[in-house]
Amino acid sequence: MEIAAARVATFHYTLTDDDGNVIDKSAEGNPLPYFHGGGNIVPGLENALEGHKAGDALKVDVKPEEGYGLRNDSLVQAVPRQAFQGIDTIEPGMQFQAQGGAGPMLVTVVEVGDTEVKIDGNHPLAGKTLHFAIEIVAVRDATAEEKEVGQVVQQAA
């Protein structure tokens, strides 16, 4: 059975950067299931998986436009340190949920000064080409419930 709309594909993956450093990977014995066509993984990877079947192994390079998008410099800004009231230690790399114009967003602390904290609202992988090594484990038809919600529904054990 091939990966197509309204099917659930399960795969192991290793995601690396341009230098070959591992950014993320599926846990041993715990492949990632996803509902194909639901927009639950980056578009470039979902498009590349279409038509593949269990047992296939492939390498996929996803450009920023089909991954986490291009970097948007307007999402990097300095905010008053007092916006972090109740937080004793603020260090670069820390992430916080902030309220943006389009709702909640994750921001990463880039720089900490005495009176201001520079934050970045871009996804940490924005602007980067994503290199995936994929091993497809299984493909099945989605259940009626999965089709209705557009994502994998984990069955209670």
Q: Following CA atoms 120, 126, 127, 133 in sequence, which dihedral angle do they give, to the nearest 10 degrees?
A: 150
Same domain? For 17 and 64 the reply is: yes
Same domain? For 77 and 114 the reply is: yes
Same domain? For 32 and 81 the reply is: no
Is residue 62 included in any domain, yes or no?
yes
For the stretch 35-63, pLDDT in tens is 999 999 999 999 999 999 999 999 999 99
Domain at 116, CATH number: 2.40.10.330
Is residue 59 included in any domain, yes or no?
yes
Domain at 60, CATH number: 3.10.50.40
pLDDT confidence of residue 154: 79
Q: How many domains does the chain have?
A: 2
pLDDT confidence of residue 129: 97
Same domain? For 93 and 145 the reply is: no
- Domain limits at 56? 7-68+126-149
pLDDT confidence of residue 155: 63
pLDDT in tens, the chain (157 residues): 999 999 999 999 999 999 999 999 999 999 999 999 999 999 999 999 999 999 999 999 999 999 999 999 999 999 999 888 888 899 999 999 887 777 888 999 999 999 999 999 999 999 999 999 999 999 999 999 999 999 999 764 5
Same domain? For 11 and 64 the reply is: yes
What pTM was computed for the model? 0.84
Same domain? For 14 and 54 the reply is: yes
Is residue 61 included in any domain, yes or no?
yes
Is residue 1 included in any domain, yes or no?
no
